[in-house]
Amino acid sequence: MNEQVKETGEVDVGSIRRQLNEIKAAEGLSWPDIERTSGVKRGTLSTFATDKYAGDNERVAREVGRWINSRRASATVTATLPDVPSFRPTPSANEVLALLRYAHVAQDLCIAVGVPGVGKTSAIDQYVATTPNVWKLTVSPSVKSVYGLLVKMCEVMRVSEKNAALLSQRLESYLQDKEGLLVVDEAQHATMEILEELRSFSDSAGVGLVLSGNHEILRKLSGSSGRGRYAQLVSRIGGRVVINKLRKADIEAIADAWNVTDPQERGFLHRIGGRPGALRNITKTMRLAGLLAQGAEEPRAIGHIQQAWRQLAGLDETS
């Protein structure tokens, strides 16, 4: 199973065929799964695997061999990456969680606003993972129409409706009496029409609604033009959380999660946490620092953390 597949010179077709079948069986993969990651058509894979392919078997073997080598290389890197600590309820995350609980229980409309990297999305994901009838919908800039929103909602809620004209009705029927919560992340990308459709769902289906995003969503709703355009939406806001920057206690909690005890290392994490990206910066830095330490066969130290941050921030080694 751990043979290295040659990519040049003669190719052992039988060996690659055997390894392909072993990987498929061991990992429970389907031919469509392998097609997606290898680029080899599923029909070619299935006939090659059973020694019934009528075409150039060596060519297919080389393509499959590259996939096998790439998969093993990726697995090696993944195995050496330090694990990211599980969700840590920082003070900022607890604020978001409390808002989510309120919106859910009260079936109210609330807003969670914060600069990037303060843990809003992590808190939302934790609440979704631990609470029934809670759905997270991420609005991307490409979702510009109500129809696009409805399609996304159907995907998230696993609701099937082929008739586009009945999507809204089908979703409303699905949400009725579920006492659920719809959390819209990256809500700053939502158009006025999308926000109004979400408000309508909240009202008609009796579900809580939380709009989460950066300060743009707050400016959109609270500005002089917003108060008029979004009057019905603004009048229904029952609670809000605004996080303008990461708290020191947030960084302390994350440092604890990464088992950082050295005062110099903790101080450096506070410096990173004060930059745009905040907790996200810390997580990426600590993962890379762990990898650098493993590569050097050394215990993780301040030098690895500083080197990791320099690489991620694109700073000169002397910075």
Distance between CA atoms of 216 and 158, rounded to whole angstroms?
30
Q: Which tens digits make up the pLDDT trace of 27-53? A: 999 999 999 999 999 999 999 999 999
The one-letter amino acid code at 280 reads: R
Angle between helices 91-106 and 248-257 (to 10 degrees): 100
Helix (H, G, I), strand (E, B) or coil at 270: helix
CATH number belonging to the domain at 13-80, selected among 1.10.260.40, 3.30.450.20, 1.10.1660.10, 3.30.60.50: 1.10.260.40
CA angle 225, 172, 114 (to 5 degrees): 45
Contact (Cβ atoms closer than 8 angstroms) between residue 114 and residue 92: yes
Instruction: Kindly give the confidence (pLDDT) of every residue in the chain, 319 residues in length, as a single tens digit, with 9 standing for 90 and above.
Output: 445 455 555 789 999 999 999 999 999 999 999 999 999 999 999 999 999 999 999 999 999 999 999 988 887 766 666 677 778 889 999 999 999 999 999 999 999 999 888 889 999 999 999 999 999 999 988 888 899 899 999 999 999 888 878 888 899 999 998 999 999 999 999 988 999 899 988 888 899 999 999 999 888 887 655 556 777 788 888 999 999 888 999 999 999 999 899 999 999 999 998 887 888 899 999 999 998 998 888 999 999 999 999 999 876 443 4
Beta-bridge partner residues of 239: 110
Q: Which tens digits make up the pLDDT trace of 189-202? A: 998 899 989 998 88
**Per-domain boundaries in the chain:** 13-80, 91-243, 248-313
* Residue 72 vs residues 19, 25, 31, 62: alpha-carbon distances, Å: 12, 16, 18, 15
Q: In the 8-state DSSP scheme, what is residue 218?
A: H
Say which residues have a Cβ less than 8 Å from residue 50's Cβ, sequence separation at least 6.
none
Fold of 91-243: Rossmann fold (3.40.50)
Instruction: Give the residue ranges of DSSP H helices in the chain.
Output: 13-27, 31-38, 42-49, 57-80, 91-106, 120-130, 146-157, 167-175, 192-205, 215-222, 224-229, 231-234, 248-257, 263-273, 278-295, 302-313
Contact (Cβ atoms closer than 8 angstroms) between residue 127 and residue 134: yes
Read off φ and ψ for residue 183, nearest 5 degrees: -110, 120
Distance between CA atoms of 175 and 161, rounded to whole angstroms?
14
Note if the pTM is more than 0.85.
no
Distance between CA atoms of 38 and 168, rounded to whole angstroms?
38
Q: Taking the CA of residue 283 as centre, how many other CA atoms within 13 Å lie in the half-sphere pointing to its CB?
A: 16
Helix (H, G, I), strand (E, B) or coil at 114: strand
Q: Which tens digits make up the pLDDT trace of 290-304? A: 989 988 889 999 999
Distance between CA atoms of 190 and 198, rounded to whole angstroms?
10
Contact (Cβ atoms closer than 8 angstroms) between residue 103 and residue 208: yes
Contact (Cβ atoms closer than 8 angstroms) between residue 269 and residue 282: yes
Number of C-beta neighbours around residue 42 at 10 A: 15
